Structure 1
Amino acid sequence: MTDTNDTRPTGGEAQAERQSPLNRLMRYLPLIAPVLLWAVPCGVLLYGGQRWPLPAALLGTTLFAFGLVAMPLAMARGHGRRQQDWAAIVGDTLLGASWVLFTWSVLLGVLLRLALSVLGVGEGQDRARIVTWAVLGVTAVLLAWGYAEARRVPRVRRLDVQLPRLGAGLDGLRVVLITDTHYGPLDRARWSERVCETVNSLEADLVCHTGDIADGTAERRRAQAAPLGTVEATRARVYVTGNHEYYSEAQGWVDLMDELGWEPLRNRHVLVERGGDTLVVAGVDDVTAESSGLAGHGAHLAGALSDADPDLPVLLLAHQPKFIDRAAAEGIDLQLSGHTHGGQIWPFHHLVRIDQPALAGLSHHGPRTLLYTSRGTGFWGPPFRVFAPSEITLLVLRSPQQPTSA
């Protein structure tokens, strides 16, 4: 592996992130989301024709009112200026639970009620109570399963990726991708160790981390991130920043990753050579870096490719899939991204698709460019993953000059 010079974006070259429809919508979510997430289930479960005894109705209403007040207060205390981890855990858990409860209150409150009506099952109060217990049962099962899914070590997802310009000497290059580890309020130091052990078992040539290392400063999350220093690769360990680094002192994370022995691809590239052939491995800062106000931070693809031979294949690390438009315009061969979490808790993926061109997996963009979007290795906020499993990804790069093998 040979290194290249670090090239920083200039003011005229850097592009500020445009406000997407999802970003505009997110401005108003803190105001309307808590009311919808708690009021809708309250109406479906307590006031949809069940005629509960007054004490039960009052108790249920009190619990929903408590959730409506406690969730935003705990999240503000946990993620705001005070950064209290216990409050973040409470607020995030209530957020995830209310989202699942809201989703299935809407779906079963309409679809199951309609099905029971068509089938002639129950009448009035009986039908309403069937819906109530179905919603509560499905929610409980999904939250228990989703919590287990979020806390487990991700399964390895393996796929071969053929790159037309990849030289025969690089055929079979093993690239392991982890991303969105989101070390945070829940202590996951042991989980981090097991993730790194799994990565090492894959005997990677190149290990990549495409950002969102943690929620919180490097000083606070050091113990959870420390196992990243044990990751092994025959050629290089490289990473790029994600948007969450810019919420919590990005430079501190750059310094810690350097201390742990990871190569920063902050608008620069390295060369991976094997068998007489060369692969350009480039990276850019997250698209939110420019608006962070940190000097020298900003996504700058031209700088990342500066002095690279244009005839060589390029593997690009960019945290957000939406960078693919710029990558495709430059003829990048393969972009690796994270950020989406695959939606994390179904059906949130519909909102993610408003903002991003891909949710998960391999997709084609333009005549030459491939994008692989990981569902992420960890989780953000609510400690649940519902129908969006986490992953550690092993991509085996294939040259068209060699037969593909298993």
Structure 2
Amino acid sequence: MSTRTPAPPRPSARRRATFTAVLLVLTALLFWVPWAGLLAPSARWPWPVQVVGTAFFAVASVAFPLLLVRAHGRRHSDRASRAAHAMLGVAWVFFAWTLITDVLRLVLAVAGVDNPFRSRLIAVLLLVIGTALVAYGVHEARRVPRVKRVDVALPRLDAAFDGLTVAVLADTHYGAIDRTAWSRATVEAVNALGADVVVHVGDIADGTVEQRRGQAAPLGDVRAPHRFYVSGNHEYLGNAQAWLDHMTELGWTSLHNQHRVLERGGRRLVFAGVDDVTAAHSGEPGHAADLDAALSGTRTDDPVVLLAHQPSEIGKAVAAGVDLQLSGHTHGGQIWPFHLLVRLQQPVLAGLSRHGERTRLYTSRGAGFWGPPLRVFAPSEISLLTLHAA
């Protein structure tokens, strides 16, 4: 089967204009709201501070959209991507905390604290908080994920599988920043768990196999009796079929709307996987989430563990009688308070949740990061689930 990436349709002039307008509005908010927090005229900073600071924000607000287009346009420049995403992360942190410190600004005004002291106090506080959170966020994003251990009771699980361990990897997002050493260390952490099953529930990388082959190579060293993988939405930006094929080459079982049966003493446990929900509109032939196909041939009394990248698929899993769905995608919000926007799209942010009478959902915060190389109050994780017969 050919793994050539289909040519994406050319966007219309109206779509390009809409995208440009939205990008410019968001850029203005992300950069000029923090400017108002740090360099508000009411602070009456010395004119060199005001001029240099304003010039910095002006240059950054012009450079950011240009770098972003270069990073995600036809050139797919990794250098531009690193710069644009770093700027995005810093801008988001300062944007969010500018709004938060504005509440304190209002409190101080009501308390009778006058300017310029009030505005200068807020600016210094914002600078300290923002800088500290960016440094903390970079550290959290680049560290080897912590192991999160969770016990999961499944009513239909046979006692033969009681105690089965499943290590969950998600959202490694190998990308513009070379994280080959991080990838090796993460695989070592997975191997130290001695899990019976290791799964990767999608978003291996941002880019094609050719671009990220070196970073993904350590996944071939994962040790477990069973290794299962399903595609995430980001694979469909870089030829998902090639990633499915490459993971097969690395010794993983790619569950492309398929399932496999584990047996112990004549008892069965099904691991099924579906394409990401975005696959149907990706342009890749033969790709679309098809749960019926994934479960075709299973028995009605088989307990089923479903790999589906996005938690939003849980409704279909409940309707199909799935016992446990394993997902990622949310990153736990990645940079607080972005989790508030994630919850508008996804039913669960992270952790174990119950849906209907039978179905459980485990949502991993993911091992890596997407875009900005920061994680703020949303730590990365390798999840170790121990299944129990209830």
* TM-score bracket for the superposition, by shorter chain length: over 0.9
Q: Which amino acid aligns with 2:160?
A: G
Partner of 1:70: 63
Could you tell me which residue of structure 1 aligns to residue 84 of structure 2?
91
CA distance in 1, matches of 2:379, 2:295: 33
Q: Is the 8 A contact 1:78 1:85 kept in 2?
A: yes
Query: Paired residue for 1:292, among 263, 282, 298?
Result: 282
Q: Who is 1:178 aligned against?
A: 169
Structure 1 residue 45 and structure 2 residue 38: aligned? yes
For the residue of structure 1 that corresponds to 2:277, the secondary structure is: coil
Matched, 1:224 2:215: yes
Q: Alignment partner of 2:261: what SS?
A: strand
Partner of 1:12: none
Pick from 97, 104, 108: which aligns with 1:116?
Answer: 108
Partner of 1:360: 350
Name 2:4's counterpart in structure 1: none
Q: How big is the alpha-carbon RMSD for the aligned residues of Structure 1 and Structure 2?
A: 1.4
Give 2:317's match in structure 1, choosing from 319, 327, 335.
Answer: 327
SS at match of 1:81: coil
Q: CA deviation at 1:28?
A: 6.9
Structure 2 counterpart SS, 1:354: coil
Shift of 1:201: 0.5
Question: Which of 62-71 and 110-119 deviates more?
Answer: 110-119
Looking at structure 1, the residues matched to 63 and 24 of structure 2 have their Cα atoms a distance apart, in angstroms, of 14
User: Which deviates the most, 86-95 or 268-277?
Assistant: 268-277
Name which of 295, 298, 302 aligns with 1:312: 302
1:144-164 deviation per Cα after TM superposition (whole angstroms, max 9, x unaligned): 000000000000000100000
Q: Deviations over 1:23-79 (max 9, x none)?
A: xx9997424211100111112221251012222211111111111111111111112
The C-alpha deviation readout for 1:140-184, integer Å capped at 9, x for no partner, is 000000000000000000010000000000000000000000000
Q: Structure 2 regions of 5+ residues with no counterpart?
A: 1-17
* 2:182 aligned residue (186, 191, 200): 191
**Structure 2 partner of 1:32:** 25
Q: Is the 8 A contact 2:37 2:126 kept in 1?
A: no
Once residues 263 and 68 of structure 1 are traced to their aligned partners in structure 2, the CA distance between those partners, rounded to angstroms, is: 45
Query: How big is each residue's C-alpha offset from its partner over 1:123-142, in whole Å with a ceiling of 9 and x where there is no partner?
Result: 21011100000000000000
Q: 1:172 to 1:28 in 2, by over 3 A?
A: farther
- Other structure's SS at 2:92 match: helix
Counterpart AA for 1:175: V
What TM-score do you get using the length of structure 2 for normalisation? 0.93
Instruction: Give 5+ residue unaligned stretches, structure 1.
Output: 1-24, 401-406
Aligned AA (2:227): R
Q: State whether residues 260 and 270 of structure 2, in contact with CA within 8 Å, keep that contact through their aligned partners in structure 1.
A: yes
Residues 258 and 264, structure 1, Cα contact 8 Å, conserved in 2? yes
**Is the 2:140–2:374 Cα contact (8 Å) retained in structure 1?**
yes
Q: Does 1:258 align with 2:248?
A: yes
Distance 1:357 1:383, change over 3 A: same
Alpha-carbon contact 2:82-2:177 (below 8 Å) kept:
yes
Identify which range, 48-57 or 369-378, moves more after superposition: 48-57
* Local SS of the residue matching 2:157: coil
| Other structure's SS at 1:92 match | helix
Please identify, of 304-313 and 111-120, the stretch whose mean Cα deviation from structure 2 is larger: 111-120
2:365 paired with 1:336? no
For 2:221, the aligned partner's letter is T
Task: Point out 4+ residue stretches in structure 1 off by more than 4 angstroms.
Answer: 25-29
Which residue among 199, 203, 207 is the counterpart of 1:212?
203
Q: Is the 8 A contact 1:170 1:275 kept in 2?
A: no
Partners of 1:119 and 1:188 lie apart in 2 by 50
The 1-side partners of 2:116 and 2:35 are apart by 16
Counterpart check, 1:54 vs 2:47: yes
User: Cα offset for 1:209?
Assistant: 0.3
Structure 1 CA distance for aligned equivalents of residues 362 and 68 of structure 2:
32
Q: Which deviates more, 129-138 or 41-50?
A: 41-50
1:390 equivalent in structure 2: 380
Contact 1:177 1:207 (C-alpha < 8 Å) held by counterparts: yes
| Aligned-partner SS, 2:278 | coil
Deviation at 1:274, TM superposition (A): 2.1
- The C-alpha deviation readout for 1:169-217, integer Å capped at 9, x for no partner, is 0000000000000000000000000000000000011100000000011
The one-letter code sitting in structure 1 at the alignment partner of 2:45 is W
Q: Which secondary structure does the structure 2 equivalent of 1:316 belong to?
A: strand
Secondary structure at 2:42's aligned position in 1?
A: coil
Partner residue of 1:107? 100
1:76 and 1:252 map into 2 onto residues whose CA distance is: 25
